[in-house]
Amino acid sequence: MPYKDRGKWRGVVKVNGKRYSDSFLTKRESIAWEKDFKDKLLNSKLTTFDYETFATKYLEFARARFAKSVFEEKIKLKKDFLQFIGSNLPLDQITPRHIQDYLLKQAKTRSAYASNRDRKNLLAMWNWGIKILDLPSNPVSRTFKLPHDRKPQYVPPEQDVLRLMAVANRKERAFLDCYLCTGARRSEIFRLKWEDVNFEKREIRLLTRKTKDGSMEGEQLPINDQLFNSLKWIWENRKYKDSPFVWLCGEGPHSGKPFTHRNRYLRGLCKRAGIKPFGFHSLRRYVASVLADTHKISAKTIQRILRHKSVSTTERYIQNLNRDLSGVMGLLELNFGNNTTQSTTEEREDSGGITNS
């Protein structure tokens, strides 16, 4: 609002923390100036930000909002797009054509899937700018997604999973049981704490950030006999009794710390078993296939076990048809029960075989 200052009326406009003012002979003139100047600023708001400043502000938000892997993906996108446009342009000079050309290049040099993922992240960044920085429009919304074919995802056959279990020592089998008896995500197993394991109620709580706002969300699942015995064995034979985490590095510079990656562990185990190598997520798909194909469990029930937000995501894992979850989880142990015998003295001595690799 205008105010009297040394015999004149001073109009004041504040936008994005910046203060603009000018003085006039009459209050009416100062009110008109405030309105016109504010409209002018808002209509030309894109010129107040260059791309790098804008992207940096968004990343400050993204660091607190998203998981580390998603945040790193957005950091890379910021650098890639800046390199593509060649200079740090003001936002009002970045057009849908710039963005579509960038996406086409990514499709050519990487893949259509990678291009669409970049588009999703750019779209989210500009939408954030509209909500938080009052940007007037989103040029990404005028670009197009590119068609891409989903490659069939590898699901290991049962005989390979059994061979994997056969070459694993007791601690390694217990680690694999956490996947094979729950269908959990890798991150859910890595962050598993003893407070999430209820031996009395025979329940396990799996925590994930796969939520709209990135907050942690937990869900209880029944523990079948196979997983109960494995977790009980780990509890009784744990080396670091003061740690709240279930799965810890047993040796090396990270000894006693929870796992974060273990990129080479499962592939090394596959090599020992003499089978085609696969990753942790393949075990999750395997669980879905066992329930759907072998036991004919419905997609809706499998969705609950895998904790997907949408059944369409589950249907990409399986193609099929409600039982109580306790009974369903028990089905998973039938395929591995003969391969997860109680530990021998030799296995106890070898229980430190898990490394942070």
Count of CA atoms in the C-beta half-sphere (13 A) of 163: 14
* Sequence spans of domains, the chain: 3-43, 51-142, 158-349
Tell whether the model's pLDDT for residue 175 goes beyond 50.
yes
pLDDT digits (tens, 9 = 90+) for 84-129: 998 888 888 899 999 999 999 999 999 999 999 999 999 999 999 9
* pLDDT confidence of residue 223: 93
pTM: 0.64
**3-state SS assignment for residue 245:** strand
Return the H-helix or E-strand segment holding 354.
Answer: none
Candidates 1.10.443.10, 3.30.930.10, 2.60.40.10, 3.40.50.80; CATH matching 158-349: 1.10.443.10
Mention the CATH class of domain 51-142: mainly alpha
Which among 186, 193, 173, 172 has a CA at the least distance from the CA of 352? 172
189-244 tens-digit pLDDT: 999 999 999 999 999 999 887 666 667 788 889 999 999 999 999 999 999 999 99
Least confident of 96-105, 151-160, 244-253, 323-332: 323-332
Q: Is 124 exposed, middle or buried (0-12, 13-18, 19+ CB in 10 A)?
A: middle
Higher-confidence position of 41 and 202 = 202
Q: Mean pLDDT throughout 246-268?
A: 85
Residues facing 303 on adjacent strands: none
292 to 25, 151, 185: CA distances (angstroms):
80, 20, 18
**Contact assessment for residue 340 and residue 161, using Cβ atoms and an 8 Å cutoff:** no
